[in-house]
Amino acid sequence: MMKSVLDVVVVDDHQMFRTGVRSELGGSVNIVGEAEDVESAVETILETEPDVVLLDVHLPGGGGAEVVRRVHQRAPDRKFLALSVSDAAEDVIGVIRAGARGYVTKNITGSELVDAIRRVADGDAVFSPRLAGFVLDAFAGTIEVAQVDEDLDRLTEREREVMRLIARGYAYKEVAKELFISIKTVETHVSSVLRKLQLSSRHELTRWASDRRLI
Amino acid sequence: MAGGVAAGLAEHLGLDVFWVRLAFVAGSWFNGAGVIVYVALWRLLPQGEPTDPEQPAGLVSATRRGLRTPRRSSRLPGGDLGQTIALAVLGLGVLLLQQHLGWGLASSVLWPLMIAVAGLALLWRQADEAQRQRWAGTSPDVPILGLLLGGGGWAALIRLVLGAVLMAMALAVFVAQSQGVDTLVPLAAGTVLALLGLGLLLGPWIHRLSRDLAAERRERIRSQERADMAAHLHDSVLQTLALLQRHAGDARTVARLARRQERELRDWLYADAEPDGATLRAALKSVASEIEDVHDVTVEVVGVGGDVAMNDDVATMVRAAREAMVNAAKHSGAGHVDVYTETVGSSVEVFVRDRGSGFDPDAIADGRLGVRESILGRMERHGGTAAIRSGPGEGTEVRIAMTVADRDEESDR
């Protein structure tokens, strides 16, 4: 699966930002297409079949979440990395729940972005400290004994530890070292948190989301 | 109930809505006084504006331009429907009992009156709904019909027609009882003809009036928004651009100005409005931006759990965290500092972390007042703890923790 140079589509409604990404990443990934709104994004992605789509959260035509939903109806394997200047929790969680595999802010450095793209292409999840913070808030609350079999609705103690370290600014390999586990295990934990975030129907998560006008 | 008068009154008086409703129902046993008061209040009291919390400018604009995925609203119907129906039935029962005993109004008056009140309630209810939708900005641009219907669609139309039919029925029953059934037909025909003529005369005029009104309102809102935006851009962005030109040769200053402007703009567009320094998180954020400005690094603050209102303990933590941030910015050589704060119950933790050069904590020279005094000493004096984890080449993390007494659950998020 791992290719030496990854194919990437950049979706953003600002020409300046797309040009910036192209010049910054040009050497490390192969940018096969650009799009500026939901319609053209869906078309471009289905046509070029990139490994990873860099996706702005705010897009004309319904936002990044809409792109993910429409592409996944036709091509469920396409991978998305959300990219945004908006730190509004509802937008970030919204695009993740739609199916994006990670979220980073736009002021991320070039090398970190390449790293994140590679990780998403490998099927792992990418959490920024801020997203990890949102997740901890969303899954906060004590575990009720009656619901212990509801695996999707709570984080395990280990997952919570991993999330806390990421929120504190630890990179995956630093998390691994801190908890005496392998990087692969860290990636497994993060992917499983991502899955819960996307699938959970947890009552608190729903309430938390609607408090922030998510649903 | 019908117009939300009871609920509004209850909120104003600080009573439970049940008692207000009971009072209205009981009042209606005395020749319908309760109903009359209710109807009068409905017209006279201003309708409460929907209490939707204001969103940051950037999100509102993004929503308006369709850049975000629209959320599906999932409001549940009011939970006290059963109680309301019970009250209504109770009121009606006592009314009928009075009627039976011959204490109430004559039945020739009562029945048309009750039908008329029901019709009126439906019509006014629809008018309120249309107004609420205009506030929400979701009403369609169809004049007249739009004014009456709002965005309600079929439900609204049915409500309107039903209300009108009930009113007509009430009038018909009243006329039939007092004048006899035969006068009903010519009277109805005459009324309909008169209404039709009036409609033809006034229709086009009302149509134009309502259209002009809508256009004017839109224009006014738009120009206000433009003025606000212009003022903000002038105060912030334009000033920064001018400064950037003046310092074009100085890369550090340019980067600093650009970063500060970005942060300000981002706060204005997306952040929830928090007064500076009123809570732990707001205080940490303002310290972070100060350090970004002075020391040429980026500082990201992430908060989890409830925020904590400012008090002496919290202020101590903020000062210690500030010292840790300054150290990271000045001595570590890293370009980025992560600050993380978590509140669980009354225990509050703050982590300050950088990926810089690090140092050997055991070898802190006594002269290094910063670490020993400002962080460790300060926290211990105030009953908290501080720990420093670092090693040459490993970056540094400072953990500050305290049990904050008198925790004010300011905002539960």
pTM here is 0.61
Q: Could you tell me if B35 and B110 lie in one domain?
A: yes
Note whether A91 contacts B: Cβ–Cβ < 8 A: yes
Q: Could you tell me if B97 and B177 lie in one domain?
A: yes
Spell out which residues of chain A touch residue B390, defining contact as CB-CB under 8 Å. Answer: none
- Which A positions 158-197 lie with beta carbon below 8 A of chain B? 164, 167-171
| Percentage above 90 pLDDT, chain B | 2
**pLDDT grade for A144, boundaries at 50, 70 and 90:** very low
Residue B384, min C-alpha distance to chain A (Å): 20
Q: Which whole number is the average pLDDT over B5-33?
A: 73
Note whether B397 contacts A: Cβ–Cβ < 8 A: yes
The pLDDT value given to residue A80: 93
Q: Could you tell me if B43 and B127 lie in one domain?
A: yes
Q: Which whole number is the average pLDDT over B348-370?
A: 76
Give the model confidence (pLDDT) of B325-340 as tens digits: 988 888 888 888 999 9
Are the CB atoms for A87 and B59 separated by under 8 Å? no
Residue A8, min C-alpha distance to chain B (Å): 22
Give residue for tokens 């209504």: B88
| Cα B31 from Cα B274, distance rounded (Å) | 53
Yes or no, beta carbons of A58 and B340 under 8 Å apart: no
Distances (CA, A) of A140 to B100, B305, B343, B412: 61, 8, 11, 12
Domain boundary among B222, B253, B287: B222
- State the Cα angle at B226 between B223 and B229, rounded to 5°: 155
**pLDDT grade for A147, boundaries at 50, 70 and 90:** very low
Spatial CA neighbour of B13 closest among B41, B52, B34, B32: B41
Distances (CA, A) of B199 to B141, B193, B204, B213: 21, 10, 9, 20
The pLDDT value given to residue B105: 62
Are the CB atoms for B264 and B235 separated by under 8 Å? no
State how far Cα B85 lies from the chain centre: 30
Give the model confidence (pLDDT) of B110-168 as tens digits: 777 777 777 777 777 777 766 666 555 444 444 445 555 555 566 777 877 888 888 88
Residue B303, min C-alpha distance to chain A (Å): 6
Asked if residue B134 is part of any domain, the answer here is yes
Give the model confidence (pLDDT) of B88-97 as tens digits: 777 777 777 7
Residue A181 in this model has a pLDDT that exceeds 90: yes
| Cα B40 from Cα B376, distance rounded (Å) | 67
Strand, helix or coil for residue B3: coil
Yes or no, beta carbons of B340 and A133 under 8 Å apart: yes
The pLDDT value given to residue B350: 92
Spell out which residues of chain A touch residue B302, defining contact as CB-CB under 8 Å. Answer: 129-130, 132-133, 167-168
CATH code at position B339: 3.30.565.10
Lowest mean pLDDT among A83-97, A144-158, A169-183, B151-165: A144-158
Note whether B75 contacts A: Cβ–Cβ < 8 A: no
Please enumerate in sequence order all residues whose Cβ is within 8 A of that of A19, keeping only pairs 6 or more positions apart, or say none.
none
Asked if residue B352 is part of any domain, the answer here is yes
Asked if residue B72 is part of any domain, the answer here is no
Asked if residue B249 is part of any domain, the answer here is no
Residue B78 in this model has a pLDDT that exceeds 60: no
Top-ranked range on mean pLDDT: pick from A50-59, A100-109, B303-312, B382-391: A50-59
Closest residue to B270, CB basis, from A65, A88, A215: A88
| Percentage above 90 pLDDT, chain A | 18
Please enumerate in sequence order all residues whose Cβ is within 8 A of that of B220, keeping only pairs 6 or more positions apart, or say none.
none
- DSSP character for B273? P
Spell out which residues of chain A touch residue B63, defining contact as CB-CB under 8 Å. Answer: none
DSSP for B98-115 reads: HHHHT-S--HHHHHHHHH
Q: Could you tell me if B14 and B140 lie in one domain?
A: yes
Yes or no, beta carbons of A63 and B304 under 8 Å apart: no
The pLDDT value given to residue A51: 92
Q: Could you tell me if B392 and B283 lie in one domain?
A: yes
Asked if residue B409 is part of any domain, the answer here is no
Residue B72, min C-alpha distance to chain A (Å): 6
- B259, burial (CB in 10 Å: exposed 0-12, middle 13-18, buried 19+): middle
Pick the residue with more confidence: B320 or B52? Answer: B320
Are the CB atoms for B293 and B324 separated by under 8 Å? no
Asked if residue B171 is part of any domain, the answer here is yes
Domain boundary among B181, B198, B222: B222
Which tokens hold the place of B274? Answer: 């928090």
Yes or no, beta carbons of A214 and B71 under 8 Å apart: yes
Strand, helix or coil for residue A45: helix
Please enumerate in sequence order all residues whose Cβ is within 8 A of that of B164, keeping only pairs 6 or more positions apart, or say none.
B119, B123
Radius of gyration of chain A (CA): 17
Are the CB atoms for B126 and B148 separated by under 8 Å? yes
Q: Could you tell me if B193 and B128 lie in one domain?
A: yes
Are the CB atoms for A201 and A153 separated by under 8 Å? yes
Q: How many domains does chain B have?
A: 2
| Percentage above 70 pLDDT, chain B | 73
Are the CB atoms for A112 and A102 separated by under 8 Å? no
Q: Could you tell me if B178 and B102 lie in one domain?
A: yes
Q: Which CATH superfamily is domain A1-123 in?
A: Response regulator (3.40.50.2300)
Count CB-CB contacts under 10 A for residue B33.
13
The pLDDT value given to residue B48: 58
Spatial CA neighbour of B145 closest among B132, B160, B128, B135: B160
- Cite the DSSP H helix spans in B180-279: 184-233, 239-246, 251-270
Which region holds residue B76: left if phi is over 0, alpha if psi is between -120 and 50, else beta? beta
Yes or no, beta carbons of B300 and A98 under 8 Å apart: no
pLDDT, averaged across chain A: 81
Spell out which residues of chain B touch residue A213, defining contact as CB-CB under 8 Å. Answer: 55, 71
Residue A120 in this model has a pLDDT that exceeds 70: yes
Amino acid at the residue B107: S
Give the model confidence (pLDDT) of B175-210 as tens digits: 777 777 777 778 788 888 898 898 888 888 888 888
Count CB-CB contacts under 10 A for residue B206.
13
By CA distance, what is A87's nearest residue in B?
B270
Yes or no, beta carbons of A107 and B303 under 8 Å apart: no
Contacts 24+ apart (CB under 8 A), A15-20: A17/A56, A17/A106
Q: Could you tell me if B207 and B110 lie in one domain?
A: yes
Give the model confidence (pLDDT) of A77-104 as tens digits: 899 999 887 667 777 888 888 889 989 8
Strand, helix or coil for residue B296: coil
Domain boundary among B158, B187, B222: B222
Please enumerate in sequence order all residues whose Cβ is within 8 A of that of A156, keeping only pairs 6 or more positions apart, or say none.
none
The pLDDT value given to residue B369: 59
Query: φ, ψ for residue B332 (rounded to 5)?
Result: -80, -25
Q: Which whole number is the average pLDDT over B245-256?
A: 83
The pLDDT value given to residue B271: 63
Please enumerate in sequence order all residues whose Cβ is within 8 A of that of B325, keeping only pairs 6 or more positions apart, or say none.
B287, B288, B291, B299, B337, B339, B352
Contact pairs from chain A to chain B, CB under 8 Å: 93
**pLDDT grade for B72, boundaries at 50, 70 and 90:** very low
Spatial CA neighbour of B306 closest among B333, B270, B279, B267: B279
The pLDDT value given to residue B274: 57
ipTM value > 0.85: no
Beta pairing, strands B396-403 & B385-390: antiparallel
Q: Could you tell me if B291 and B378 lie in one domain?
A: yes
Asked if residue B233 is part of any domain, the answer here is no
Yes or no, beta carbons of B300 and A215 under 8 Å apart: no
Closest residue to B340, CB basis, from A168, A171, A211: A168
Lowest mean pLDDT among A8-12, B17-21, B267-271: B267-271
Yes or no, beta carbons of A132 and B338 under 8 Å apart: no
Please enumerate in sequence order all residues whose Cβ is within 8 A of that of B18, keeping only pairs 6 or more positions apart, or say none.
B80, B83
Asked if residue B57 is part of any domain, the answer here is no
| Cα B394 from Cα B332, distance rounded (Å) | 10
Which tokens hold the place of B369? Answer: 């007042």
Lowest mean pLDDT among A93-97, A123-127, B22-26, B251-255: B22-26
Q: Where are the domains of chain A?
A: 1-123, 125-215
Which tokens hold the place of B126? Answer: 């629809």
Residue B199, min C-alpha distance to chain A (Å): 42
Closest residue to B304, CB basis, from A94, A136, A170: A136
Domain that holds residue B395: 276-403
Q: Could you tell me if B190 and B298 lie in one domain?
A: no
Beta pairing, strands B347-354 & B336-344: antiparallel
Count CB-CB contacts under 10 A for residue B327.
23
Note whether A94 contacts B: Cβ–Cβ < 8 A: yes
Amino acid at the residue B210: S
Note whether B351 contacts A: Cβ–Cβ < 8 A: yes
Residue A45, min C-alpha distance to chain B (Å): 19
Residue A83, min C-alpha distance to chain B (Å): 14
Note whether A108 contacts B: Cβ–Cβ < 8 A: no
Radius of gyration of chain B (CA): 33
Residue B234 in this model has a pLDDT that exceeds 60: yes
Q: Could you tell me if B32 and B112 lie in one domain?
A: yes
Yes or no, beta carbons of B59 and A86 under 8 Å apart: yes
Structural domain A125-215, CATH architecture: Orthogonal Bundle (1.10)
The pLDDT value given to residue A176: 92
Pick the residue with more confidence: B367 or B114? Answer: B114
Spell out which residues of chain A touch residue B72, defining contact as CB-CB under 8 Å. Answer: 215
